[in-house]
Amino acid sequence: MKIRIDKANCAGNARCAAIAETLYILDDDGYITVEEIDVPAGMEQLARRGARACPERVIQVIEDDEE
């Protein structure tokens, strides 16, 4: 599974990191630092929850069978 982030539209609400801070790494201003994350095995559910928590919907979950 991968996560893709539209960094340009991130508003810095940090809700993704509140759910899964080890996946969604933020800068000092609260904005996501990367555009793509390879989700480690066992963290898929947290990744999905973090993506759903984003009010701007800038986080896209890409399941392995979609690649």
Which pLDDT belongs to residue 64?
Answer: 86
Written as six digits, the tokens of 33 are 């630092």
Which pLDDT belongs to residue 67?
Answer: 56
Contact present, 44 and 1 (Cβ < 8 Å):
yes
Which pLDDT belongs to residue 8?
Answer: 93
Domains in the chain with CATH codes: 2-66 (3.30.70.20)
pLDDT in tens, 6-42: 999 999 999 999 999 999 999 999 999 999 999 999 9
Does residue 66 have a pLDDT over 70? no
> pTM to 2 decimals?
0.88
Strands (E), 1-67: 2-5, 36-38, 59-62
